[in-house]
Structure formats: C-alpha cells, structure tokens
Amino acid sequence: MLRIGLLLLVLPGLAMMVGYLLEQSAVDACLDGGGSWNYAAGACDSTDSHPFIPFSSRHPWLVNGGMLLSVAGLLCCLVGLYSRRS
C-alpha cells in the first residue's frame, strides 16, 4: 500500500511538470523566433498576437486529475504507514 501510495503521490506531479515544460520549451522557441504562441491552438503564429491562457485552464483534466491522484496517493501512504505500526 505504501509503494502504490508513493507512486500515486509522485508520478502525477512529474507528468504535469513534463507536460508543462515540453509546452514551455515550444513557446520559448516560438518567442525566440519572433512569433506569438497561440495557446488555444498550441501553435506558433508569426502574424497575430495572442493572449496568454494558463496551463490549468487549457488542461483542467490533467491538472485536477493529477492533484486528485496525488491526494489519493497521500492517503494510501498514510494508511500504509499506519497499518505497519499497528
């Protein structure tokens, strides 16, 4: 139970960080090239300027689901630690 809890606690956060950093590197490359990143389409646009849309607004299932899995992992860790001491 403790190992499953630790996996559920750590892996969703890592998955969100990897997704965010991959997207952020594409945004940075677009801005370095003189373009504007279209967050809604996920593509670089060299003609128009586009507003910033937060990662949590564009990927609510990923962020909320990841947080829910992390909380479930925390609860599994607590149960695993408590049951070992009893």
For the chain, how many structural domains are there in total? Answer: 1
Q: What six digits make up the tokens of 13?
A: 């956060």
Each residue's pLDDT tens digit, 18-41: 999 999 999 999 999 999 999 999
CA 77 – CA 64 distance, rounded (Å): 20
CA 29 – CA 78 distance, rounded (Å): 43
Q: What six digits make up the tokens of 47?
A: 């003609």
- Identity of residue 9: L
> The domain containing residue 35 runs over which residues?
2-85
CA 54 – CA 63 distance, rounded (Å): 11
Do 5 and 77 contact (CB within 8 A), yes or no? yes
Each residue's pLDDT tens digit, 5-20: 999 999 999 999 999 9
Banded model confidence at residue 1, pLDDT cuts 50, 70, 90: confident
Q: What is the pTM of this model?
A: 0.81
Banded model confidence at residue 76, pLDDT cuts 50, 70, 90: very high
